[in-house]
């Protein structure tokens, strides 16, 4: 097990992502941040508060549960549903930024896109992730990345956030050397 990002590095990465989101979208006015539970939701909240601070405004963040849209439902025992909440109640015409902790096969994001499709028609959908570990199985890419980490498939990357874990850190497990 080794630590790839510590608390300070995580917060600096999130700050940079917040600035990049603002730059690309020309300000926070039409933004809708949606975190994918569990840890994506906390990251989304942190990015929203960073943006609020930078822009001296009040940007809320929502959550988007994708459980019902997963393509691997049939492979595992049923999962508990997690909350979905859309600030303002609608995604129509918004610049939606999906936020997740680890970007891996791309299947989670595919499910999230399906779920958004049911909820309405956003103006655009972008993706922000804290860690991109590669091994995509679908043609999906991230717009904002905290850190790219080349990994082997046997390894697992875990993001720990102080909201539910003892402290902020990103670790990698199962590395052979």
Site for other proteins, rule CB under 8 A:
65, 68-69, 73-84, 86, 89-90, 114, 118-120
Task: Say which DSSP state 92 is in.
Answer: T
Task: Please say which residue, 27 or 89, places its beta carbon nearer to other proteins.
Answer: 89
CA 59/CA 70 separation, integer angstroms: 29
Task: Please say which residue, 31 or 86, places its beta carbon nearer to other proteins.
Answer: 86
Q: How far is the CB of 67 from other proteins (least distance, A)?
A: 8
Task: Please say which residue, 13 or 125, places its beta carbon nearer to other proteins.
Answer: 125
Asked whether 140 and 126 are in contact (CB, 8 A), the reply is no
Beta strands in the chain (DSSP E): 2-6, 31-35, 61-63, 95-103, 124-132, 144-148, 156-160, 169-173
Q: How far is the CB of 79 from other proteins (least distance, A)?
A: 7
Q: How far is the CB of 175 from other proteins (least distance, A)?
A: 25
């Amino acid at each position: 097990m080794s630590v790839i990002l510590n608390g300070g590095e995580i917060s600096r990465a999130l700050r940079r992502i917040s600035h990049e989101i603002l730059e690309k979208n020309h300000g926070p006015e039409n933004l809708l941040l949606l975190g994918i539970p569990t840890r994506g939701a906390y990251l989304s909240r942190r990015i929203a508060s960073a943006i609020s601070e930078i822009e001296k405004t009040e940007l809320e963040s929502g959550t988007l549960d994708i459980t019902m849209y997963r393509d691997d439902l049939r492979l595992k025992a049923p999962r508990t549903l997690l909350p979905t909440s859309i600030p303002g109640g609608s995604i129509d015409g918004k610049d939606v930024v999906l936020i997740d902790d680890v970007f891996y096969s791309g299947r989670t994001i595919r499910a999230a896109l399906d779920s958004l499709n049911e909820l309405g028609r956003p103006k655009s959908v972008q993706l922000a992730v804290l860690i991109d570990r590669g091994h995509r199985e679908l043609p999906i890419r991230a717009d904002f990345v905290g850190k790219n980490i080349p990994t082997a498939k046997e390894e697992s990357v875990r993001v720990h956030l102080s909201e539910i874990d003892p402290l902020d850190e990103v670790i990698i497990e199962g590395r052979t050397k």
